[in-house]
Amino acid sequence: MARYIVKRLALLTITLLGVLTLTFFVSHVVPGDPARLAAGVRARPEQVEALRTRLGLDRPLWQQYGRYIAGVVRGDLGESIRTRRPVSADLAEYFPATVELTVFAMVLCLLIGIPFGIISAVKRESVIDHVSRVAATAAVSMPTFWLGLLLQLLFFRWLQILPATGRLGFYLSPPAHATGLYVVDSLLSGNWTALGDSFVHLILPGAALAASSIAVITRMTRSSLLEILSLDYVRTARSKGLAEKVVILKHALRNALLPSLTVIGLQVGVLLAGAVLIEVVFSWPGIGLYAVQSITFVDFQAILGVTLITAIVYSGVNLIVDVLYGVIDPRIHY
Amino acid sequence: MKAFWKKLGRWMAGRPLAAAGAVVLLAILLLALFAPALPLQDPQSVSMRDKLLPPSAAHPMGTDDLGRDMLSRVVHGARTSLLVSVIVVACASVFGMAVGLTAGYFGGMADELMMRTTDIFLAFPGLILAMAVAVVLGPGVVPTIVALSIVWWPWYARLARSEALMHKQADFVEAARALGVPTWRILRSHILPNSLSPLIVQATLDMGYAILTTAALSFIGLGVQEPTAEWGAMLNIGRKYLLSAWWFITFPGLAIFTTVLAINLAGDGLRDYLDPRTRKRGA
């Protein structure tokens, strides 16, 4: 097990080095003149030259590459030309909002996807199964951002029961900063008004973001549970007179959830990408909104910072999922 | 060929959803193909007097912020979306297949190199890598195609690799090798044809994702730009009028949804048809 984890960490390091090389290539080699871009459209030629020297862009490419890698390892992701601040400082400010949104969406996925998957498998070919199949196909075919807009139209514009934008009502101040997750922070500081309000603000963006992943997890749980239910040990459990509830929830479900675990890990990537769009729709101040706001300014460093941090989080989550797999399933030896 | 269509038709009849998906998809393709010949208003004709009109007989889907006919723009938008997604899937699958089949067949260093390279690309959530590449390449249809192809080829490479691994031990490949058939011909005439069905299914289903991602890129201001009629770009402007003009975001989104749904339903049918093994999984 330990050997496997070490091997995977080594592979992850290679992958991340590759990721850095790719982002370096994208930021230094592909665009015509990074100094020109970093200086902004209206900069005078001498300003561009000064910036070129300051950023080390006048040196040979391999030196720039070394500086870039060393910088990223130290947490230096360059400076945003839009906010005039280090990208790492900006990311630290925006990232918690994205974490809160994606974690909330993931919780929705698990709370809704797994039970519906179980019901669809147990009551195979029933009305619920058919409805969940149709809903799942519809959910994966729907653009996340359009669903967000429709939810805003329905619950904010017409029914007027849920807020459409932001993390808190404008009349509230954020809870005392501890984690940057408003729900957690307001719990910690006992600020019940902020807790309720930040939760209410999470509902629409969270639901829009989670929809397609709920569908995928429902179908995955269903098909893997069906496969397990046809195995001999389930028949044995049934024939010795165990209650159907025990057979399904205790004997079958545990094994059925294993393949779902991989899918859940992959859904983290789907959620992180979807968060970019949902944050734009709901003016949610996370790294996705930060990246999109940077687009208009052709703010490369900011966008690459967001790209890099999502790649790291995504790879990390998938590593954890693979390791968990081995911990949960004793049949797997590495 | 005639027998094939007959068989396919009979088989489709037993799967109403897949058949419906195929029919709707065909209708959208025809609409997109013949959009300029249809009795529609000019999708680019600006008329500030008619801006943000709700749906009516003259404008069945209303008008946008520049008074352009939404129906016409939604139909013309199908041209952009379908064109981009077909080219993306074609580029990504051909390149990915070439790399994957070669790596899988030769194994060893070539295989290791390919797997590690795809690892790098797959470490990014797709849209986010596409976003970074699209920012560098700038706006427009061609940069969008390049950005999305860069994101997609590793999936095909992995799939093709696993197919090549499966077939290279087969007796008929062994026999061809023993007869001294050159390697590239083994790849082309034996490995490729046998690996094609899963790749075709993947490509079909990916068309839907390609449409969604194209729309997503233009929704965040990258990719295809105004005044080209494109569904994602229309939604990007439409959301500013969310509170006053519901039709502005409703119809372009509905167009994306319908097209992707049709592709997914038809693609599922095609998968079951080409690979009967997946049928019993019941997913």
Q: Do A219 and B125 touch (CB under 8 A)?
A: no
What is the structure's pLDDT at B283? 36
pLDDT at A102 over 90: yes
Between CA B58 and CA A78 the distance in angstroms is 53
Which is more confident, A25 or B95? B95
Band of residue A239 on the pLDDT scale cut at 50, 70, 90? confident
The answer to whether residues A266 and A201 touch, using CB atoms and an 8 Å cutoff, is no
Chain B residue whose CA is closest to A29: B136
User: In chain A, pLDDT over 90 holds for what percent of residues?
Assistant: 26
Give the angle A101-A14-A271 at the CA atoms, nearest 5°: 15
Q: In this complex, which of A23, A146, A219 lies closest to B257 when CB atoms are compared?
A: A146
Q: Do A307 and B261 touch (CB under 8 A)?
A: no
**Within chain A, how many helices (H) and strands (E) appear?**
15, 0
Q: How many CA atoms lie within 13 A of B190 on its CB side?
A: 22
Q: Do B242 and A153 touch (CB under 8 A)?
A: yes
Q: In this complex, which of A223, A314, A315 lies closest to B281 when CB atoms are compared?
A: A223
Chain segment A176-235, per-residue pLDDT in tens: 787 888 888 888 887 888 888 888 899 999 999 999 999 999 998 898 888 888 888 888
DSSP class of residue A176 equals P
Cβ–Cβ contact A317 with B under 8 A: no
Q: Do A143 and B116 touch (CB under 8 A)?
A: no
B 121-180 residues with CB below 8 A of A? Answer: 121, 123-129, 131-133, 135-137
Name the residue among A3, A194, B227 with its Cα closest to residue B236. Answer: B227
Between CA B233 and CA B215 the distance in angstroms is 7
Distance from A188 to chain B by nearest Cα, in Å? 32
Between CA A164 and CA A281 the distance in angstroms is 9
Alpha helices in A282-299 (DSSP H): 287-295
Chain segment A149-179, per-residue pLDDT in tens: 999 999 888 898 888 888 887 777 788 787 8
Measured in residues, chain B has a length of 283
What is the structure's pLDDT at B278? 53
Contacts of A281 in chain B (CB under 8 A): 239
Structure tokens at B198: 């899963």
What is the structure's pLDDT at A275? 93
Which residue numbers in chain B have pLDDT < 50? 279-283
Q: How many Å from the N-terminal Cα to the C-terminal Cα in chain A?
A: 6
pLDDT at A36 over 80: no
pLDDT at A334 over 60: no
Structure tokens at A120: 């669809």
Q: Do B249 and A11 touch (CB under 8 A)?
A: no
Give the angle A190-A180-B240 at the CA atoms, nearest 5°: 110
3-state secondary structure chain B: CHHHHHHHHHHHHCCHHHHHHHHHHHHHHHHHHCHHHCCCCCCCCCCHHHCCCCCCCCCCCCECCCCCEHHHHHHHHHHHHHHHHHHHHHHHHHHHHHHHHHHHHHCHHHHHHHHHHHHHHHCCCHHHHHHHHHHHHCCCHHHHHHHHHHHHHHHHHHHHHHHHHHHCCCHHHHHHHHCCCCHHHHHHHHHHHHHHHHHHHHHHHHHHHHHHHHHHHHHCCCCCCCCCCCHHHHHHHHHHHCCCCHHHHHHHHHHHHHHHHHHHHHHHHHHHHHCHHHHHHCC
Contacts of A123 in chain B (CB under 8 A): none
Beta strands in A157-274, from DSSP E residues, in sequence order: none
Q: In this complex, which of B131, B232, B246 lies closest to A303 when CB atoms are compared?
A: B131
- Residues A103-132: what's their mean pLDDT? 90
Contacts of B247 in chain A (CB under 8 A): none
Q: How far is CA B200 from the centre of its chain?
A: 12
Which is more confident, B87 or A126? B87
Mean model confidence pLDDT for chain A: 85
Amino acid found at A109? C
Between CA B267 and CA B201 the distance in angstroms is 7
Chain segment B192-222, per-residue pLDDT in tens: 888 888 888 888 888 999 999 999 999 998 8
Chain segment A286-306, per-residue pLDDT in tens: 999 999 988 877 777 888 889
Cβ–Cβ contact B119 with A under 8 A: yes
Which is more confident, B260 or A77? B260
What is the structure's pLDDT at B149? 93
DSSP three-state, residue A320: helix
Distant-in-sequence, close-in-space partners of B111: CB < 8 Å, separation ≥ 6: B103, B104, B161
Between CA A263 and CA A219 the distance in angstroms is 11
Which is more confident, B147 or A23? B147
The answer to whether residues B85 and B219 touch, using CB atoms and an 8 Å cutoff, is no
What is the structure's pLDDT at B281? 42
Cβ–Cβ contact B31 with A under 8 A: no
pLDDT at A112 over 90: yes
This model's pTM is above 0.95: no
Cβ–Cβ contact A209 with B under 8 A: no
Cβ–Cβ contact A301 with B under 8 A: no
| Model ipTM value | 0.86
